[in-house]
Structure 1
Amino acid sequence: MPPPPYNAPQDMERRDWIAGLEKGLHLIEAFDAEHSRLTASQAAQRCGMTRTATRRYLLTLVHTGHVTTDGKLFWLTPRVMRLGQAYLESARLPRAVQPYLQRVTAGTGEVAYSAVLDHDELVYIARSGTQRHLNTGYMLGSRVQPHLTAAGMVILAALGPGFWEPWLAAQTLRPFTSHTVLDKQQLQQNLVQARLQGWAISEQQLEMNYRGIAVPLWDHNDELLGAMSVTMPMNNETSELAVKRILPVLQDTARSARPLL
């Protein structure tokens, strides 16, 4: 079984741990689409901290410009985007994989992505698309549950049952479309199939009329980095024709990238 993704949590000495930094970052992550504005009490509840401590952290984040407030509610500012942009600009993988995504787009006419597993979420770190697709699909930094996408399924499959079985057991599955697979046994069967064939396809799991096809992305040391995928409208193209058109380009490109990653 390959090692866990590079961003798996690491053990550390307690003397090296800075609790305030951890809590501040945890507090930033408490804001999401369903909780865009929070009182100090609401943020405290989401983070498992006291209201007094949470308010101090929030006011500190107001001081640094990462959060703003009207005196009662707190919300994030665009400055928080610097954190994600710093990764995209400094990490090697998004830059290294970009020309290969462009090759996939040139060979298929579709939007190509690279994604990695971050704990329980799939994160899109690079993309390349034709002009007609620039305003569709996943944005850089988009996070989704991995079992809803071909990229996520192929990563879970490559990690093997020793990884995906406890991962699935801990998940709460919810429907996004009428086609979303909610049966964990069926998901395991799909993962076994993806592992055996070395690629994955996902149809209408997250959004109606959209299909994804993905292959794992390995480096020159045979370590799993993430996935390379294509996401596209299904239109009237059958699954078989889509795989025949897209998969060889993905596989050839992933093989070409492997020695240089």
Structure 2
Amino acid sequence: MPTLPPGPAALDRRDWIAGLERGLAIIECFDGEHPRMTASEVGLRCGMTRTAARRYLLTLQHIGHVAGDGKLFWLTPRVLRLGQSYLESARLPRVVQPFLQRVAAGTHETAYLSVLDGDEVVFIARNGPNRSMNTGYVLGARAPAQLTASGLLMLALRPQDETEHWLATRELVVFTSHTIASKERMALEFARIRAQGWALSEQQLDLNSRGIAVPLRDRHGTLVGALNVTMPMGHESSEDAVARVLPVLRETAQAMRNLI
């Protein structure tokens, strides 16, 4: 019998539906480097046989989440309904919109709410001017956590033993000449963020991007996400950007605390 995968909570074997897990794994195996794949390629990426992968793909094709030409398969826009269901059903993205508007108006930058999902941050709400993709994120976008201000913040504010375990078990991939690639330097960055309570990330993922983030906590003090802005580099110094943006972010995060 298959072994239950590790998860955030224990699950009785009789309650585990392996087919559901595998079907979702097939959807998630498509990405920018693998937009169209054969059943064999999908099976290889998902750890299953070509025959099993093909059956899942044909089922997903039947319900409209996948399309194919007899050889290659690819995702359809219907998959977006999965993410849209979260955005429409979750309370947090709706509650924060007026506050993100306040941040955007007060800073003239794009404001975001992001949450941590594994090793990635997901931007679940946004407000502000539209800029080119290299200085901002679309709603629902993901990014490696350690390369963004909000991700660095949420990683650093975990219990210290969790942060140390994360750092010990990850490889730091370099994206730009400014990416933090040393685990020793990353540990110092986490300590600095914990001490000051906010995060600044510059040119980590994109050479023209700067981000500033503060924690968003609920009325019980539990960290539920990060409130952040992104802006282009070059218009002002780091110190001036922080002085201009950080007070607005902090004031807004405090105002939201009793509402979430």
TM range (shorter): over 0.9
Q: CA deviation at 1:236?
A: 3.2
What letter corresponds to residue 160 of structure 1 in structure 2?
P
Q: Aligned partners of 1:96, 1:54: CA distance in 2, in Å?
A: 40
Q: Aligned partners of 2:144, 2:168: CA distance in 1, in Å?
A: 14
Q: In structure 2, which of residues 123, 131, 134 is the aligned counterpart of residue 133 of structure 1?
A: 131
Q: Is the 8 A contact 1:151 1:227 kept in 2?
A: yes
- Structure 2 counterpart of 1:5: none
What letter corresponds to residue 174 of structure 1 in structure 2?
V
Task: Give the alignment's TM-score, normalised by structure 1.
Answer: 0.94
Secondary structure of the 2:96 match is helix
Please give the per-residue CA displacement for 1:102-127, whole angstroms capped at 9, x wherever unaligned: 11001100000010001111111000
Deviating runs (4+, > 3 A) in structure 1? 132-136
- Structure 1 counterpart of 2:252: 253
Q: CA deviation at 1:134?
A: 7.8
Q: Is the 8 A contact 1:199 1:216 kept in 2?
A: yes
Q: CA deviation at 1:10?
A: 2.5
Please give the per-residue CA displacement for 1:214-254, whole angstroms capped at 9, x wherever unaligned: 00110011111010000000223111110000000000000
Q: Aligned partners of 2:58, 2:27: CA distance in 1, in Å?
A: 12
Q: Is the 8 A contact 1:160 1:195 kept in 2?
A: no
Secondary structure of the 1:117 match is strand
Q: Aligned partners of 2:173, 2:188: CA distance in 1, in Å?
A: 18
Q: CA deviation at 1:171?
A: 1.8
Equivalent runs, 1:30-45 vs 2, <5 Å? 30-45=29-44
What letter corresponds to residue 133 of structure 1 in structure 2?
R
Structure with the larger RCO, 1 or 2 (CA within 8 Å, 6+ apart): 1
Alignment: residue pair count: 253
Secondary structure of the 2:84 match is helix
Q: Aligned partners of 2:240, 2:54: CA distance in 1, in Å?
A: 56
- Structure 2 counterpart of 1:87: 86
Give identity over the alignment, percent.
60
Please give the per-residue CA displacement for 1:153-205, whole angstroms capped at 9, x wherever unaligned: 11111113222111122222222111111111111110110010000000000
Please give the per-residue CA displacement for 1:66-89, whole angstroms capped at 9, x wherever unaligned: 001111111000000000011111
Secondary structure of the 1:36 match is coil
Equivalent runs, 1:1-261 vs 2, <5 Å? 9-130=8-129, 133=131, 137-261=136-260
Please give the per-residue CA displacement for 1:110-152, whole angstroms capped at 9, x wherever unaligned: 000010001111111000013x538651011111111100000
Q: Is the 8 A contact 1:216 1:228 kept in 2?
A: yes
Q: Is the 8 A contact 1:127 1:140 kept in 2?
A: yes
| Structure 2 unaligned blocks of 5 or more | 1-6
